[in-house]
Amino acid sequence: INCNIFWPESETMSGELIFIWYSFVIGFAAPVSLTLVFYIITFLRFLTVGTQNQNSFTEEQREITKLVLSLVTVHFAVGFHTGHMLLV
């Protein structure tokens, strides 16, 4: 059994190059960019909430903040570490 893929050709780029760029943008660059933006927004939000009402934070709010930050950190570390280990 033989499987051949014939990519449509363009005047400026070959089909294989278009597929590589498409795969890179959709499969890597867009998800990493979105993840980075949302982590930065979350981090900045925690910084501003912590500095605005530092005295009015209850112990329960501090514990929830620590839990959310630890979950985000673990999700980021485990998710990307596992993905990179699978590529090796």
Tens-digit pLDDT profile for the chain (88 aa)? 788 877 777 788 788 888 888 888 888 888 888 888 888 887 777 777 655 555 566 777 777 777 887 887 777 777 766 666 666 5
- Predicted confidence at residue 59, as pLDDT, reads 72
Integer Cα distance of 58 and 63 in angstroms: 9
Q: What is the pTM of this model?
A: 0.53
- Predicted confidence at residue 52, as pLDDT, reads 58
- Kindly report the backbone phi and psi dihedral angles of residue 52, in degrees, each rounded to the nearest multiple of 5, phi listed first: -70, -55
